[in-house]
Amino acid sequence: MENLASVQNESVLEEYSFTWNGGISYLTYLKENTKVTVTNQRLLIETKKYYMGFIPSGAITVEVPLDRINELTTSKRINWLDLIFAIGFTIATFTGVFFAAILAIIFYLCAFNTNIILINKLNQKIVIPSASKKVAMQFVERVYKLAQ
């Protein structure tokens, strides 16, 4: 509670929401929602995980001062289940099933997501998964400008 009260006293510049779903549409095995509040002095990162897409497992809140950020990058994250389905539908396409080609393209596009990796001065790594590369890049650029 102390963290939330101190953030309310600071000026909140922006809030970002990142969502990542592990699995395929209705077969989600893990859903991760991350809300990042950017102030002029710190990042407040709140992560909530949901098993099977709807069973909550609690929230984790991390506070990172902007002057303690050592590195902030993005990387690719592969959803292996989507990739396996994409490969399977690609093989089915070669057997003459045209509809499988459309499904293969959809699964290939869904298989690759973006991770935001934040490393502080103590070499602690915080990973924020995101389904949107565009929002992840906007977040990294904004925080990088504030941290300098």
Pick the closest to residue 34 from 124, 131, 123 (CA basis).
Answer: 131
If you average pLDDT over every residue of the chain, what do you get? 87
Q: What is the pTM of this model?
A: 0.79
| pLDDT tens for each residue of 1-11 | 445 555 556 78
Q: How far is CA 57 from CA 30, 51, 54, 119, in A?
A: 10, 7, 9, 25
Q: Would you list the DSSP string of 10-30?
A: SPEEEEEEEEEEEEETTEEEE
> Looking at residue 7, what is its pLDDT?
52
Whether domain 2-147 has CATH 2.30.29.30: yes
> Looking at residue 1, what is its pLDDT?
44
Please name the amino acid found at residue 61. Answer: T
**What number is the average pLDDT over the span 103-131?**
91
pLDDT at 89 over 50: yes
Q: 67's torsion region: left (phi>0), alpha (psi -120 to 50) or beta?
A: alpha
pLDDT at 64 over 90: yes
> Looking at residue 6, what is its pLDDT?
53
Distance CA 38, CA 13 (A): 6
pLDDT at 71 over 50: yes
